[in-house]
Amino acid sequence: MKSIFARFLLVAFFGFFSLTQFVNAHDELPDTVEHIRSFSSNITLHKDDSLTVEETIVYTTGGTQHHGIYRDIPLSTVESPVSKNQSVTVLSVSDEKGNLVQHTTSRLSSNGQKIFRIKIGDPDVTFAGDKTYVI
């Protein structure tokens, strides 16, 4: 029973976070402002309590040059600072056509939170306009 409850909490957390991001992404912003145009998440819960999450993020630079984005995944919060041994693995990052996109991962602490960070984009290449990332 504890396992089912834990899985429910994980799905609820990711679902709420994804919904929050989706709602924020659809506020009407002009193309001259850097923002996430759209965010969608497909979450699969496995019998072993693991999750597979596929996110599609459409990002616009607002007309300025950028290398890419950071995708931060909270592993703990200030209210709940205990971080169980969550294992996060990025299987791939690609564009909308399936072309692989350069990325690195790290774990860090910020304002009392433990965070898993995915740094997406080529540090030697900048772009302006829209990019789609599938994580």
Instruction: Round the average pLDDT of the chain to a whole number and report it.
Output: 82
Could you give the CA distance from residue 12 to residue 23 in angstroms, rounded to a whole number? 16
Cβ(101)–Cβ(118) below 8 Å: no
Confidence at residue 120, expressed as pLDDT on a 0 to 100 scale: 96
CA 112 to chain centroid, in Å, comes to: 19
Q: pLDDT digits over 38-59, tens only?
A: 999 999 999 988 889 999 999 9
Mean pLDDT to the nearest integer, 80-107: 87
Choice among 3-17, 74-88, 116-130 with the minimum mean pLDDT: 3-17
The residue whose two tokens read 């909270």 is 74
Cβ neighbours of 86 (radius 10 Å): 12
Cβ(11)–Cβ(51) below 8 Å: yes
Confidence at residue 49, expressed as pLDDT on a 0 to 100 scale: 84
